[in-house]
Structure 1
Amino acid sequence: MIGHPKYIMGIGGTLRINSSTELAVRRVLKHASDLGAKTEMFAGADLAFPFYDPSAALPAAASPLISALRRADAVVIGSPGYHGSVSGLIKNALDYVEATAGDALPYFTGRPVACLATGAGWQGANTTLGVLRSIVHALRGWPTPLGAALNSQVKLFTVEGECLLPEVDSQLQIMAGQLMEFQGAPRAPLPAPAKGGSVMA
């Protein structure tokens, strides 16, 4: 790995703790941690922001997410499929990325972004994955070559976050490796994590 240890942030899940989406994102972060990355997860209550208002000041609740994004070398985003698209919780969190519009490296510029989606069936998971990848493109990020669409009708994880299906875990491991291998725009040295997310490593 070239340069300082990568800092990878995860965004995803639902307001239900340990949803399959949250566990999938955490699993990618776990694989990245095993490869030497520092990781931080934003899920559930960490993402329960007011509806994004471009005319309003950044609310305090969203500050840790934006601070983490500004430090991140790579990002993992996971969303459940709600009516064929990204959930409102995740879309609203991504709308707040506009707070970085005036930065030297705005949005996801120069960074790889791993996208994954879950759904109670393949149709919703696949369409949501496509939407996520389009959003990442719009925010100037580089979606990893591999994205994951996961069918949550099948039990995917234990309550401890271990993946029950080797073929799924292999996909999540490959995604972590692609995040680590990508060499994007140089970023500032890693400062201490901001409060608000749950630091995993």
Structure 2
Amino acid sequence: MDQIKKPFILGLGGTTSPVSSTEQALAIALQAAADAGAETALFGSDRLMALPHYRSDPAGLNQTGEDLVALVRRADGLIIASPGYHGTVSGLVKNAIDYIEETSNDDRIYLDGLPIGLIVTAYGWQAVGSTLAALRSIVHSLRGWPTPLGVGINASGGMFKDGMCTDPGVNEQLKLVARQVMLRAETR
């Protein structure tokens, strides 16, 4: 009997803290994908900080960079989460995204055809909107398919604690973005 392959969804993002609102929001979305039948992996704060600045030569890849590229190559979909720092994507998250350049000569170039869910957290709405727009632009340039819903969260109220979100509407949006990634990942 053939086994049905579970879609593999990679969560990429966070800050320097594993308990940041960004990483907690990403973990909630990844759990929703897992609950829907996906295999998931979180490439969060600890590994983001272990990445050297991206260089487009083999000497620039340490083991963490090689691991990230292998996870991207394996992914059937991604959920990318960034804090909105000064109106745009954080340097830590952008550096990780830059490693996708290593797939430029693959059969599937960059994120070609992959569903990509986007999550942005910030302490104010202005940075949420501009950061979400920046992430959409980055995903388009990498040939990915941003989901119709991008989750923008004004986290200034401290709604994330111990891996939970106290706002039911935000919780539902995080689950919905995961379902949208799963829908496209399962039809690939």
TM-score calculated relative to the size of structure 2 = 0.93
Specify the alignment match of 2:13 in structure 1.
Answer: 12
Q: Please tell me whether residue 127 in structure 1 is matched to residue 130 in structure 2.
A: yes
1:187-198 to structure 2, matched below 5 A, reads none
Amino acid at match of 1:100: T
Which segments of 5 or more consecutive residues in structure 1 lack a partner in the other structure?
187-201
Q: CA RMSD in A?
A: 1.4
Amino acid at match of 2:71: A
Instruction: Evaluate the alpha carbon distance shift between residue 183 and residue 33 of structure 1 in structure 2; reply closer, same or farther with a 3 A threshold.
Output: closer
Q: Percent identity?
A: 44
* Whole-angstrom CA distance in 1 between matches of 2:16 and 2:109: 28
* Whole-angstrom CA distance in 2 between matches of 1:155 and 1:110: 35
* Whole-angstrom CA distance in 1 between matches of 2:58 and 2:104: 15
* Whole-angstrom CA distance in 1 between matches of 2:177 and 2:63: 31
1:51-130 to structure 2, matched below 5 A, reads 51-57=53-59, 58-130=61-133
* Whole-angstrom CA distance in 1 between matches of 2:19 and 2:52: 22
1:72-108 C-alpha deviation (Å, 9 max, x unpaired) = 1000000011110100000111111101111000111
Amino acid at match of 2:8: Y
* Whole-angstrom CA distance in 1 between matches of 2:187 and 2:143: 12
Instruction: Point out the structure with the larger helix share.
Output: 2
Instruction: Say which SS state the counterpart of residue 161 (structure 2) adopts.
Output: coil
Which segments of 5 or more consecutive residues in structure 2 lack a partner in the other structure?
none
Q: Please tell me whether residue 40 in structure 1 is matched to residue 41 in structure 2.
A: yes
For the Cα contact (< 8 Å) 2:7–2:185, is it kept in 1? no
How many residue pairs end up in the alignment?
A: 183
For the Cα contact (< 8 Å) 2:7–2:186, is it kept in 1? no
